[in-house]
Amino acid sequence: MSGTFVGMPAFPKAAHEAVNNTTLRGNLRHATHTIRAKRAKAVTEVSDWAALREAGKRIKDHTLRHLDRYLVQLEESVTRAGGTVHWAADADEANRIVTDLVKATGESEVVKVKSMATQEIGLNEFLEAEGIHAYETDLAELIVQLGKDRPSHILVPAIHRNRGEIRDIFTREMSEWGRPAPEGLTDTPAELAEAARLHLREKFLRAKVGISGANFMIAETGTLVVVESEGNGRMCLTLPETLISVVGIEKILPTWQDLEVFLQTLPRSSTAERMNPYTSMWTGTTDSETADGPRTFHLVLIDNGRTDTLADEVGRQALRCIRCSACLNVCPVYERAGGHAYGSVYPGPIGAILSPQLRGTASEIDASLPYASSLCGACYEVCPVAIDIPEVLVHLRERVVQGGQVTQQGSKVVLKPAKGHAAERAAMRAARWAFSHPGALRTGQRLASRTRRFHPRTLPGPGSAWSGSRDLPAVPAEPFRDWWQRTNGGKGEGK
């Protein structure tokens, strides 16, 4: 994944700072609460939501289960339609392929449509090092790029910024990159959007190479689909002479008809709209007579940990994800910790199950992500492809504390249990022992009851993780089981 995230601290540490940043908390709360209510309304508008969700899940599962076949079919279809297909096993290979393709055009700048896949592989940084400048054209990506910031949301990477901060970034940075922000720019969203329009227009009109991702790829026809709002996608997909699309191998749908499910569920789940303003669909290149859009089209299919994820029978459901970000918007942990705490271009609940699978659980941040959830289940409830995120989180916790067999870069390896969990493991074992011996449990309960007058309401040391913000409950005079026995189930209670 992107080099910008290397060396991230574990989630709780990163979240600590976010929780105490009142501006950030306010920005996130405002934005996520705005979209939550709207999404709920957009979903209620379609009476068959549950059936669409189920169909979406099944289509994706079916595709993953026959992924080899559909990949080959897609390659044939795209090639037949005049495109060229490239395969990249990892981020580095994908970056090299794209860089070579750009260099072959003789160009030193490219315009980009927002794409999670290219962020995941750190394409912009790679291109920059090779002397190629990549301009992000999505408004939020532009805000992030101009602000030398990191994305914190899948759909709205600058969600952590409010309008005032965006105005400041535009005023300060636009002139460094091209057309400056208009004089006297205010913080009204319409003016900010206008500033972005003016700033990017010259880049669109002169661009010779466009780089995109794709929301869907249709195996039977070779069609790629990009769903967007602003029109920057249309600009990048139609004006340049060369188009390079970098897409994860799991983005395939078998048939044209399958779009009828996802074009209903994706817009409602992501921007809470019946339909997003613009969707572009193209199949290879057009003939020289029609001459509509790029003359050259390259599709770079990337694995980068996806086949490893596919090998895990519980975790593979994460590959159903259509990147709508509904799970981020409802997540109480995301709302308070912010996207940066997840240390990945994939933040929020889906990120907490994707990143440790795509990248493995070796780093501190990746080993902490499966715990970045209270398992409240709100994410699963809104997911339009029914990914049981809590189930995968618990499964990955197991991988962290117990280790076991996983697939890494296509090979099976056996992971050792993570180091930091030794004390917890011992405590869990002790608790399991006590709970397996009701007599021992009772002895413990009685001991606690007898010493109850000496129990503090707060704890020192590691216990302060609880009592830093919450009082401890008082221990009762006798546990229930003693009362039950003493009173014969309440029947002998002197009342």
Partner 1 sequence: MRVALFLTCVNDTLYPDTGRAVVKLLTRLGVDVDFPMGQTCCGQAHYNTGYRHQAEPLARQFSDVFRDYEAIVTPSGSCGSMVRELYPRMGERARAEGRGDTLARTLAPVVPKTYELTEFLVDVLGVTDVGAYYPHTVTYHPTCHGLRSLGLGDRPHRLLQAVKGLELRELPGADECCGFGGTFAVKNSDVSAAMGTDKVRNAESTGAEVLCAADNSCLMHIGGTMTRLRTGMRPVHIAEILASTEEEPLG
Partner 2 sequence: MSSRDAILGRVRRALADVRQDDTPYDQAIQRDYLREHGDRGVEETVDLLAENLADYRALVHRCTDEELPGVLARLLTGRGSRSVLVPPGLPASWLAGVDLPRVQDRLESTPHELDQVDSVVTGCAVAIAETGTIVLDGSPDQGRRRITLVPDHHICVVRVPGQVVSSVPQGLERLDPNRPLTWISGPSATSDIELDRVEGVHGPRTLEVVLVSGLPGDEVTS
Task: Choose the binding region for partner 1 from 191-199, 303-311, 343-351, 366-374 (rule: CB under 8 A).
Answer: 366-374
3-state SS, the chain, equals CCHHHCCCCCHHHHHHHHHCCHHHHHHHHHHHHHHHHHHHHHHHCCCCHHHHHHHHHHHHHHHHHCHHHHHHHHHHHHHHCCCEEEEECCHHHHHHHHHHHHHHHCCCEEEECCCHHHHHCCHHHHHHHCCCEEEECCHHHHHHHHCCCCCCCCCCCCCCCCHHHHHHHHHHHHHHHCCCCCCCCCCCHHHHHHHHHHHHHHHHHHCCEEEECCCEEECCCCEEEEEECCCHHHHHHHCCCEEEEEEEHHHEECCHHHHHHHHHHHHHHHCCCCCCCEEEEEECCCCCCCCCCCCEEEEEEECCCHHHHHCCCCHHHHHHCCCCCHHHHHCHHHHHHCCHHHCCCCCHHHHHHHHHHHCCCCCHHHHHHHHCCCCCCHHHHHCCCCCCHHHHHHHHHHHHHHCEEEEECCEEEEECCCHHHHHHHHHHHHHHHHHHCHHHHHHHHHHHHHCHHHCCCCCCHHHHHHHCCCCCCCCCCCCHHHHHHHHCCCCCCCC
Of residues 122 and 294, the one with the C-beta less far from partner 2: 294
Among 221, 269, 344, 355, binds partner 2 (CB under 8 A): 221
- Using CB distances below 5 to 8 A depending on partner kind, what does residue 394 bind out of partner 1, partner 2, none? partner 1
Chosen residue from 19, 149, 239, 371 binding partner 2 by CB under 8 A? 239
105, 125, 160: which is closest to 334 by C-alpha? Answer: 160
Tokens of 361: 């659980």
We find the least distance from the C-beta atom of residue 37 to partner 2, in angstroms, to be 11
Q: Shortest distance, CB of residue 402 to partner 2, whole angstroms?
A: 19
Q: Which does 31 bind (CB under 5 to 8 A by kind): partner 1, partner 2, none?
A: partner 2
Does the protein bind partner 2 through residue 211 (CB under 8 A)?
Answer: no
Based on the shown chain and the rule CB under 8 A, indicate whether residue 256 belongs to the binding site for partner 2. yes
- Which span sits near partner 1 by CB under 8 A: 49-57, 193-201, 239-247, 461-469? 461-469
When binding is defined by CB under 8 A, the residue of 336, 364, 407, 415 that contacts partner 1 is 336
Total number of residues that touch partner 2 (CB under 8 A):
100
Among 186, 374, 409, 443, binds partner 1 (CB under 8 A): 374
* CB closer to partner 1 out of 259 and 382: 382
Interacting residue with partner 1 among 297, 383, 399, 406 (CB under 8 A): 399
Asked whether position 55 contacts partner 2 by CB under 8 A, the answer is: yes
Name residues contacting partner 2, limited to 1-30 (CB under 8 A): 27, 30
The residues, ordered by sequence, that sit 6+ positions from 117 with a Cβ below 8 Å of its Cβ are: 213, 246, 247, 248, 302
Q: Which does 193 bind (CB under 5 to 8 A by kind): partner 1, partner 2, none?
A: partner 2
CB closer to partner 2, 64 vs 102: 64
Give the chain's radius of gyration (CA, Å). 26
Residues 296-335 that bind partner 1 (CB under 8 A): 313-314, 332-333
If one asks whether residue 469 binds partner 1 (CB under 8 A), the answer comes out as: yes
Among the listed residues 3, 6, 7, 16, the single contact to partner 1 using CB under 8 A: 16
Minimum distance, C-beta of residue 424 to partner 1, in the bound complex (Å): 7
Residues 184-203 contacting partner 2, CB under 8 A:
189-190, 192-194, 196-197, 200-201
List the one residue from 35, 123, 127, 372 that touches partner 2 (CB under 8 A): 35
Among 43, 263, 372, 387, binds partner 2 (CB under 8 A): 263
Instruction: Indicate whether 143 belongs to the interface with partner 2 (CB under 8 A).
Output: yes
- The reply to whether 301 sits near partner 2 by the rule CB under 8 A is yes
2: how many CB neighbours lie within 10 A of its CB?
19
Could you say which of partner 1, partner 2, none residue 201 binds, taking C-beta under 5 to 8 angstroms by partner kind? partner 2
Cβ distance 237 to 110 under 8 Å? Answer: no
Write out the residues near partner 1 by the rule CB under 8 A: 11-12, 15-16, 19-20, 25, 313-314, 332-333, 336-337, 370-378, 380-381, 391, 394, 396-402, 424-425, 428-429, 431-432, 434-436, 438, 441, 445, 448, 457, 462, 465-473, 475-476, 478-481, 483-485, 489-490
